[in-house]
Amino acid sequence: MAVYTQVFESELNPFLHGYGLSEHYQLQGLMGGTENTTYRVSYTEAEGQHRGSDKSYILTLFEQGDHSDLGYFVSLLTQLKDKGINTVAAPIADQQGHYLQTLAGKPALLFPCLNGSHPEQPSIEQARAIGQWLGQMHITAQSFDLHKPNLRSIDWMKHVAPDLLPLLDEMDQQLMQLEISHFTDLLEEYPNLPEGILHGDLFRDNTFYEGDKLTGVIDFYNGCNGHLLYDLSVVLNDWSCQDGNAPDLALQSALLEAYEGVRPLTDEERRALPSYLRACALRYWISRLLAKHLAEEEEHDHGYKDPEHYKLILLNRVKQAGW
């Protein structure tokens, strides 16, 4: 979340009127993200809110990327909500039944504000909850007639690696080249891994908990179609590898067990998982290197995340390849 585009009352008031919301709100820009502009729109009991019981909303203005993809995200979120995945923060329709709007010249969506906080040091029960949620989401979305390719595939890695290799020392160059080759071999060895709709970015900071109870999942903007093992690997790496250290095996096992309690892995998926964990760590190492390099080229802090974190996870997954 971040603020790149300023929104004025003369624009926001008619926007909110379209949802049956009054002009008596408090607007707060939310910081911390790197891609889109995000505001919290808050009401109090005395401020005459006309719509429902929700008192706060999240307003997102989309700054980057191909905005034609937003239709995919709206359809995915609303269909998941309709199918009973109530922890999804689906966008809200205006009084005319429209979801996607234009505000300050940018595509915009209004969401409910979720209760809870992100788990910085997740517990075993929190890990079980997200494993179960992911398994249920994967099964539920199988019936959806949606398709968007994974833009961070092995082909993307091979395409961007030549730009990154000159920036790395010799050992890191060898690591990247070997792991790209390993991922290529993995996909050739297992060409029929189950596919479906993915969240695509299910990090801890895209979840909300109250205690050990999962209250919400956000940020489906990397959603796409691909190997279900990709989503599972994102979660296992982020949730069990704190600060780039070796994985917490108890937490990892609890998460995986909960996922398989809903959607059991195939035999091929079980055999491929250790290598897929490496491939997923490689993907985020590469993307964070690209973000850092872009920021340095433009001499501007885009809020990029440290690529070293995922290099350490990758090295730990390589050591653990027999798991």
Question: How many CA atoms, within 13 angstroms, populate the side-chain half-sphere of residue 5?
Answer: 20
pLDDT band at 323 (very low <50, low <70, confident <90, very high): very low
User: Cα separation of 301 and 322, whole Å?
Assistant: 39
pLDDT of amino acid 34? 56
Check which CATH number belongs to the domain holding 258 and give it. Answer: 3.90.1200.10
Range in 69-78, 117-126, 187-196, 242-251 the model is least confident about = 242-251
Residue 117 scores a pLDDT above 90: yes
Q: Average model confidence (pLDDT) for the chain? A: 91
Token pair recorded at residue 117:
């906080």
Q: Do both 197 and 281 map to the same domain?
A: yes
- Size of the chain in residues: 323
Residues 142 and 266 in one domain: yes
148, 285: one domain? yes
Tell me the mean pLDDT in the region 209-234: 96
Q: Are residues 130 and 89 in the same domain?
A: no
Is there a domain that residue 4 lies in?
A: no
User: 196 and 286: one domain?
Assistant: yes
Separation of alpha carbons 146 and 74, rounded Å? 11
Q: What is the pLDDT of residue 47?
A: 52
Position 32 pLDDT exceeds 70: no
Is residue 117 assigned to a domain?
no
Reply yes or no on whether the pLDDT at 192 is more than 80.
yes
Instruction: Say yes or no: 179 and 289 in one domain.
Output: yes
Query: Which pLDDT score, from 0 to 100, does residue 53 have?
Result: 47
What domain range includes position 85? 9-112
Distance of CA 221 to the CA centre of its chain: 7
Asked whether residue 135 falls in the same domain as residue 278, the answer is yes
32 and 133 within one domain? no
Residue 185 burial (C-beta neighbours within 10 Å; 0-12, 13-18, 19+): exposed
The number of beta carbons lying within 10 Å of the beta carbon of residue 139 is 14
> Does one domain contain both 196 and 294?
yes
d(CA 120, CA 63): 27
Mean pLDDT for the stretch of residues 13-29: 94
**Which two structure tokens, joined as six digits, stand for 199?**
């969240």
Domain presence at residue 35 = yes
Residues 175 and 303 in one domain: yes
- Looking at the structure, tell me whether residues 131 and 198 fall in a common domain: yes
Domain boundary among 112, 143, 171: 112
Q: Is residue 306 part of a domain?
A: yes
Encoded amino acid at 196, one letter: G
pTM: 0.90
Q: Is residue 60 part of a domain?
A: yes
In a domain, 166, yes or no: yes
Given a cut of 80, whether residue 1 has pLDDT beyond it is no
Find the DSSP H helices in 141-266: 154-164, 170-189, 228-240, 249-262
- Domain tally for the chain? 2
Give domain status of residue 216, yes or no.
yes
CATH of the domain at 105: 3.30.200.20
* Domain closes at, from 112, 145, 169: 112
Kindly state the average pLDDT of the residues 244-271.
94
Give the residue-averaged pLDDT of 182-200. 97
Whether 136 is covered by a domain: the verdict is: yes
Question: Which pLDDT score, from 0 to 100, does residue 55 have?
Answer: 83
Query: Which of the listed residues 112, 133, 154 is the one where a domain comes to its end?
Result: 112
Q: Is the pLDDT of residue 185 over 90?
A: yes
pLDDT band at 39 (very low <50, low <70, confident <90, very high): very high
How does pLDDT run across 51-96, given as a tens digit for each residue? 544 589 999 999 876 677 899 999 999 999 999 999 998 999 999 9
pLDDT per residue as tens digits for the range 264-301: 999 999 999 999 999 999 999 999 999 888 766 655 55
SS3 sequence, 110-160?
EEECCCCECCCCCCHHHHHHHHHHHHHHHHHHHHCCCCCECCCCHHHHHHH
91 and 194 share one domain: no
By the 8 A CB rule, do 258 and 127 touch? yes
